[in-house]
Amino acid sequence: MHFIKFKDFNNLLRKLLKENAIYAPGQTGENLYWQKLNSNTPKGTSTQKGTSTPIPLRAQAGTGGLENIVYDQIRAAGSIKPFLFHPKETVASYPTAKTNKETPEKTILIGPKACDLKALEVLDNIFQKGDFKDPFYIANRENTTVISSDCSSPADSCFCSLVDLSPYPKTGFDLNLSRIADGFVVEVGSSRGQELIRESEASFREASSHMVKERDDVRGEVLAQVKKQNEEYDAGKSYQEILKKNFEVDAWRTEAEKCVECAACVQVCPTCYCFLLYDQASGAEQTAGYEKVRVWDACQYPKFSQVAGGANPRKRRAERLRHRYAHKFDYFLENFDIVACTGCGRCIQACPGKIDMREVLSKIGK
């Protein structure tokens, strides 16, 4: 376990900015959004406003200085998924049959939370393992360093404790920062993280037992807060069991009446990975060609499941809502031995129909 002062960590970031694009949460209104850091921003300058969208799909929401980074508090409004799995990208061009695979810039993400890191485990199973591997995701993953941080101010919508997570990372990071009075307690999670410390060894020292205790006390308080605010939603049994036993209950139809089919829940979800491929013309008239484009898709759209001939196995909203829950807590668990929900609560905050995943599962269970 290591310790680094705030000033020394900022100096480390200035050094890393010379060869890396660095993104970190910055305050925009009431929420945190990913900001691309700019070491030239004067101290005290606020992050740019007016460049962020309410639900940012692109990773880059603005720019900010090092002094504007929000290290702890809550997770950012947008997940880190867009950094690795882009909302829209050209994957191939033809008739040249050229794969548009370029080496992405080296990127460092500062401040992802435990729920974000769990999402990476889900996405890794889809895009990096098995028979079909996604070269775009893999390239982005290999060129991304993750410096996570503890969560100190969870929102009312956060429910990581219900899916066996804690509001502080345990695995999946290169380095993790736990903010204490004088700086950060730093935990190493990979050889890449160890290399970062080795390159700036003079800035780090061994964390004392007092520092570690201060960190653990804060972690305990935040975990207790998350558990307390989710007591009423604790079903006392696994969500997979609830879904298997209540697949045909009328409660699905009742809950789906609030859905407006906007798919905001899917767009902000850090683990949803469905996409659509389409072809379009590209280039000038003299060099006309075509390109294959990939965009995010969503199972909550009415025609998502429609097949040739017009057949649609999930024509009703209730069927689509149920499928989303079953996929998160049953199907994915069956196939990959992990739950595809991280309890981040983003879907709850984004839903204009005020659908709360915790409430739905609780009602279905009853």
Here the tokens at position 285 are 């008239």
DSSP for 109-158, written as a single string: EE---HHHHHHHHHHHHHHTSSS---HHHHHHHHTEEEEEE--SS--TT-
Q: How confident is the model at residue 293 (pLDDT cuts 50, 70, 90)?
A: very high
- The H or E element that residue 318 is part of is helix 317-326
| Mean predicted confidence (pLDDT) in 180-187 | 94
Q: How far apart are CA 342 and CA 115, in angstroms?
A: 5
Q: How confident is the model at residue 58 (pLDDT cuts 50, 70, 90)?
A: very low
Considering only the C-alpha atoms of the chain, give the largest distance between any 2 of them, rounded to a whole number of Å: 70
| Mean predicted confidence (pLDDT) in 272-286 | 83
Helix (H, G, I), strand (E, B) or coil at 272: coil
What pLDDT does 355 receive? 95
- Check: CB of residue 13 under 8 Å from CB of residue 22: yes
Q: How far apart are CA 66 and CA 70, in angstroms?
A: 9
What pLDDT does 100 receive? 63
Percentage above 70 pLDDT, the chain: 89
| Mean predicted confidence (pLDDT) in 330-355 | 95
Buried b (16+ CB within 10 A) or exposed e, 18-55: eebbbbbbbbbeebbbbbbbbeebeeeeebbeeebeee
Here the tokens at position 29 are 């209104």
Percentage above 90 pLDDT, the chain: 74
The CA-based angle 117-121-122, given to 5 degrees, is 115
Mean pLDDT of the chain: 88
Q: How far apart are CA 128 and CA 144, in angstroms?
A: 15
Residue matched to tokens 């998160």: 328
Q: How confident is the model at residue 103 (pLDDT cuts 50, 70, 90)?
A: confident
Q: How confident is the model at residue 40 (pLDDT cuts 50, 70, 90)?
A: low
